[in-house]
Chains A and B, each alone.
Chain A
Amino acid sequence: MTTTIIWTIVAITVLGVLLAVVLYLVATKFKVEEDPRIDEVEKVMPGANCGGCGFAGCRAFAQSCVESANLDNNFCPVGGNEVMKKVAAVLGLEVKEKAPMVAVVRCNGTCANRPAVNDYDGLKSCKVKAALYSGDTGCFYGCLGCGDCVAACQFGAISMDPETGLPVVDEEKCTACGACVKACPKKIIELRNKGPKGRRVFVSCVNMEKGAVARKACSAACIGCGKCAKECPFGAITVEHNVAYIDFNKCKLCRKCVAVCPTGAIHDINFPTPAPKQEKTASKPAAGKPAEAGKPLPVKPAEEASQTTDKKEE
């Protein structure tokens, strides 16, 4: 009985040692040569595998970084400059700092601004809805409100505001990976410079219809009047196909365009003090700013205005 047990143990041990030797020989013979730096780079990556950099995942990105001579064409939007600095340190390369980006929803067609003209009863998906028709409002270009962008976001940074029916981007969570930009069939979401202290100015409309038609469908639409372009001292605004666009690289955040916009289509975000155009804002019925959920930063100018008046009354 004891002998059987001993022999079994001996036999298994010998077999194990033999197989280990075979495995060792095979492993050395067929070893895949890989740059050890790939592992090192991968370690400093965020590991979200979101594909925002344009590669299949973090490892593919790391491999590309190791193989290329410089880091000009590689950028991890999720990790941002910090991660890129670490990557550069590992590889001993230089890295240019990039301005942080954020996803911006360029539609202000809230339920109040843009009334529904028909009732959609199909599958709740922007892709399906866009393939069928122009959407349930008079605006062919605007947000369809089925939340494909919400589903596409891996970071939980986008949510639908039930009151406005529009998606809201949480700046803290947004990594600017661009998944929502790809998911939106109407191409409303754009990656823009986050701006100093998160301050930025953008045209919250993509309606290419002529002014009167656009205005009829949505009271907050850009009517392509060009007032903003004339006002802009930096030549940052262009009006093409009846819609204005602000080049965020040229924009110096002076907010003169915000003041002259007759429909309130130009939005300024995260500015601390009420803009000089305060009175005009108050008179505009449609100039509601998109509520930024979970945003720690300042109150919107309109609200602030009402607060100051409250104080006066007190």
Chain B
Amino acid sequence: MKKTFSIGGVHPDDKKISAGCAIEVLPTPKTVYISMAQHLGGPAKAVVAAGDKVKTGQVIGEPTGFISAFVHSSVTGTVKSVGLYKDLAGIPVVHVEIETEPDEWADGIDTTDTLVTEIPQDKNFIVDRIKSNGVVGLGGATFPTNVKLCPPPDKKADILILNGAECEPYLTSDYRIMIEKSRQIVVGAALMKRVLGVNHVVIGIEENKPEAISKMKEAVASLASSSSDYSGIEVVALKKKYPQGGEKQLIDAITRRQVKSMGLPIDVGAVVQNVATSLAVYDAVQKNKPLIDNTVTVTGECFPKQSNLLVRVGTPLSYIIDYLGGVPENAAKAVSGGPMMGKAIANLDAATLKGTSSVLFLTEEQTRRKPETNCIRCGKCAEACPMGLEPFLLNKLARNGMMDELEQNAVQDCIECGCCLYSCPANIPLLDTIRIAKGEVIRIIRSRTAPKK
């Protein structure tokens, strides 16, 4: 019996139709727009001005606070402007616009393909490289990786979990890197293992990706035989269930430990990193290469050319789509990310970010919401909720603005996975109301616990 998380979850059709497409390098566009807000926390401060010449991999944005990250130029060229440009939700964010020229890499970056398997002894060296190369979590939340790898001194991790679940339907970018860059991912895992000082690393992959599981097992076995740095790394096949890629769900599935309400994984001694983050850590530490490109799946049944592309950060989405033949006629909605948690794209001129994992096209039939009807108290949402919440109740409370009751019913634990919305037979927009209420309740909790001025 394969492992999975204990409560809730749904089984959407996985539709990994782009799984067979090898990663292709997308040509660099003429102009890139690099956002200064590509990570959780304070947006970076642009340190270049219009007219500056930048090289590929040069720092163009510096962190502004503890939770923030460096931003690097993904191309060589001239800065045309630094100013507001609309992101994929149409919201103006500071971007650096760069007109590209042929690549000229910044000093100190190893651009060869040779696999470097030797793990540096110095922990601080690894963390510094991760920080200075702007690595952020690529599982969705884009939390700065160096912060996550340095837990407060009173908390100790004993297990590192690599998330290769990729439980969202359609997405195949993690799957492709696990097949094509499995060794680099394992080296990245060993680097993070050294930083955390843990002996046990588990790479969790869902059973619907047998090829990735065998490739990763092979990479672990061959590296483990070469050096003791690679001992204690194990690949575990997980049962297919959404949202297995959720941090708390994955910890539950692999270790059976439960993270408490408002708690962090480190409270139960676990650190979770995505496989794509592990690859970025490898590049950052062993090659000194900043996080300037990532794998993006472009897919959808209505899209003629399924692809997995290696895209430079800041490439306009419209450029990617035009490269693959333009927006299909019957596409009604474009989504960045998976169909369950992804964000609808309101602006196709927006540029990719470090955390962009896919562009998904859905047809009217697949995406149009059906009219909302009354709640029939069937309890399907409560059954589907992987956090053990009662979405039907939270929805009622949220619509009436009952903040105290919302907090008592743990709305702050919602992970916004969308299982409730997916399972509701009455088509009630549960997540829409709950997400807003969650934000407000968390703000109330923070203002209460914050030190008084």
Whether A133 and B344, one on each chain, are in contact in the complex, defined by CB atoms closer than 8 angstroms, is yes
**Cβ contact within 8 Å between A140 and B90:** yes
User: Main SS of the interface on chain A?
Assistant: loop
Interface status of B325 (Cβ within 8 A of chain A): no
Determine if A140 and B92 form an interchain contact, defined as CB atoms under 8 angstroms apart.
yes
Chain B residues near A131: list those with CB within 8 A: 435-436, 439
Judged by a CB distance under 8 angstroms, whether B448 is at the interface is no
B332 to chain A: closest residue by CB: A119
The residue of chain A having its C-beta at the shortest distance from the C-beta of B372 within the complex is: A123
* Chain A residues within 8 Å of B444, by CB: none
A131 to B435, CA, bound (A): 9
How far, in angstroms, from A133 to B87 measured CA to CA in the complex? 9
- Set of chain B residues within 8 Å of A122, measured between Cβ atoms: 369, 429, 432
Which residues of chain B are within 8 angstroms of A127 by Cβ–Cβ distance? Answer: 436
Q: Are A134 and B369 in contact (CB under 8 A)?
A: no
- Are A128 and B86 in contact, CB atoms less than 8 angstroms apart? no
State in angstroms the CA–CA spacing of A135 and B367 once bound together: 18
- A313 within 8 Å of B (CB atoms): no
Closest-by-CB residue of B relative to A139 is B90
Which of B91, B432, B433 contacts A140 (CB under 8 A)? B91
User: Would A118 and B346 count as touching, CB distance under 8 A?
Assistant: yes
Interchain CB contact under 8 A, A128 and B89: no
Q: In the complex, which of the residues A118, A133, A140, A209 has the most CB atoms of chain B within 10 Å of its own CB atom?
A: A133
- Does A132 lie at the interface of the complex (its beta carbon under 8 Å from any beta carbon of B)? yes
Q: Is A35 an interface residue (CB 8 A)?
A: no
Q: Is B2 an interface residue (CB 8 A)?
A: no
* Of listed B432, B433, B435, residue having the most chain A CB within 10 A: B432
Q: How far is the CA of A138 from the CA of B435 in the complex (A)?
A: 25
Inter-subunit contact B346/A134 (CB<8 Å) = yes
Residues 180-211 (chain A) with a chain B CB within 8 angstroms? 209
Q: Which of A123, A128, A138, A140 has the most CB of B within 10 A?
A: A123
Contact flags A149-182 to B (C-beta < 8 A → 1, else 0)? 0000000000000000000000000000000000
Answer yes or no: A121 CB below 8 A from chain B CBs. yes
Q: Which residues of A contact B429 (CB under 8 A)?
A: 122-123, 128
B87-104: contact bitstring with A at CB < 8 Å (1 yes, 0 no)?
001111000000000000
Residues of A within 8 A of B433 (CB): 123, 125, 128
A-B contact count (CB 8 A): 44
Q: Which of A96-142 contact B (CB under 8 A)?
A: 117-118, 121-123, 125, 127-128, 131-135, 138, 140
The contact string, 1 if C-beta is below 8 Å from chain A, for chain B 364-394, is 0001110000000000000000000000000
B344 lies within 8 A of A123 (CB): no
A contacts with B, residue count (CB < 8 A): 16
Q: How far is the CB of A187 from chain B (nearest CB, A)?
A: 15
Select A121's contact among B86, B347, B368, B436, beta carbons within 8 Å.
B368
Known contacts A118-B346, A122-B429; decide if A133 and B436 are in contact (CB<8 Å).
no
Q: Nearest CB to that of A129 among chain B residues?
A: B432
CB <8 Å contact, A133 and B89: yes
Complex alpha-carbon distance, A133 and B344, angstroms: 9
Residues of B within 8 A of A117 (CB): 346
Contact for B90 among A121, A128, A135, CB less than 8 A = A135
- CA A140 – CA B88 in complex, angstroms? 12
State in angstroms the CA–CA spacing of A212 and B195 once bound together. 51
**Are B89 and A121 in contact (CB-based, < 8 A)?**
no
Contact of B432 with A133 in the complex, beta carbons under 8 Å? no
Q: How far is the CB of A155 from chain B (nearest CB, A)?
A: 19
Give CA–CA (A132, B87) in the complex, Å. Answer: 12
Q: Are A128 and B91 in contact (CB under 8 A)?
A: no
**Cα-based distance from A276 to B337 in the complex (angstroms):** 56
**B435/A133 in contact, CB under 8 A:** no
In the assembled complex, which residues on chain A have CB atoms less than 8 Å from the CB atom of B367? 121
Contact with B along A247-278 (1 / 0, CB 8 A): 00000000000000000000000000000000
> Is there an interface contact between B368 and A132, defined as CB atoms closer than 8 Å?
no
Within 8 A of A (CB), among B432-448: 432-433, 435-436, 439
Q: Which residues of B contact A118 (CB under 8 A)?
A: 346
A 209-229 to B, binary, CB cutoff 8 A, 1 in contact else 0: 100000000000000000000
Contacts of B343 in A (CB 8 A): 132-133
CA distance in complex: A140, B89 (Å): 10
**A128: B residues at CB distance < 8 A:** 429, 432-433, 435-436
Q: Can you add 19 more A-B contacts, CB < 8 Å, to A117-B346, A135-B90, A138-B90?
A: A121-B367, A121-B369, A122-B429, A125-B432, A125-B433, A128-B429, A128-B435, A131-B435, A131-B436, A131-B439, A133-B90, A133-B343, A133-B344, A133-B346, A134-B89, A134-B91, A140-B86, A140-B90, A140-B92
The 10 closest A-B pairs by CB, nearest first: A134-B90, A133-B89, A123-B432, A123-B429, A133-B346, A128-B432, A121-B369, A134-B91, A118-B346, A133-B90
Residue ranges of A at the interface with B (Cβ–Cβ < 8 Å)? 117-118, 121-123, 125, 127-128, 131-135, 138, 140, 209
Residue contacts A-B, CB under 8 angstroms, 13 given:
A122-B432, A123-B433, A125-B432, A127-B436, A128-B435, A131-B435, A132-B344, A134-B91, A134-B347, A135-B90, A138-B90, A140-B91, A209-B92
B contacts, CB < 8 Å to A = 86, 89-92, 343-344, 346-347, 367-369, 429, 432-433, 435-436, 439
